[in-house]
């Protein structure tokens, strides 16, 4: 006699995202004061995701901000303002 297998739906995305966020929190040496999330520059860098301001600052040989709450320098603000005013890289 064969036993019947019942395929029940499994909420994979919830399990995966919980494990990923838990692992990131445990592996991170630094947690951003903003608390992290999709728009957090620390979290995005940790996930090797693109951070637009990093491209602009590196191209203009400026230091990167260490976390979301760090204020922009005057030079960084100038680069950001030039980009938004010209719709092109500085």
**Residue 18 has what pLDDT?**
41
How far are the Cα atoms of 39, 57, 76, 79, 88 from residue 73, in angstroms, in the given order?
20, 11, 5, 10, 20
Query: Other C-beta atoms within 10 Å of 34: how many?
Result: 14
> What is the overall mean pLDDT for the chain?
78
Distance separating alpha carbons of residues 55 and 65, to the nearest angstrom: 12
Domain that holds residue 64: 25-86
Distance separating alpha carbons of residues 28 and 16, to the nearest angstrom: 18
Most confident of 4-8, 13-17, 21-25: 4-8
Query: Is 32 inside any structural domain?
Result: yes
Query: Is 7 inside any structural domain?
Result: no
Query: Is 29 inside any structural domain?
Result: yes
The total of structural domains in the chain comes to 1
Higher-pLDDT residue of 3 and 56 is 56
Task: Name the percent of the chain lying above pLDDT 70.
Answer: 63
Query: Is 1 inside any structural domain?
Result: no
The answer to whether the CB of 65 falls within 8 A of the CB of 58 is: no
Query: Is 55 inside any structural domain?
Result: yes
């Amino acid at each position: 006699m064969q036993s019947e297998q019942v395929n029940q739906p499994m909420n994979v995305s919830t399990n995966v995202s919980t494990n990923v966020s838990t692992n990131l929190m445990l592996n991170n040496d630094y947690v951003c004061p903003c608390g992290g999330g999709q728009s957090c520059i620390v979290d995005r860098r940790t996930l090797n995701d693109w951070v637009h301001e990093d491209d602009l600052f590196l191209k203009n040989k400026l230091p990167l901000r260490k976390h979301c709450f760090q204020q922009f320098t005057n030079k960084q603000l100038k680069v950001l303002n030039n980009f938004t005013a010209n719709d092109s890289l500085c």
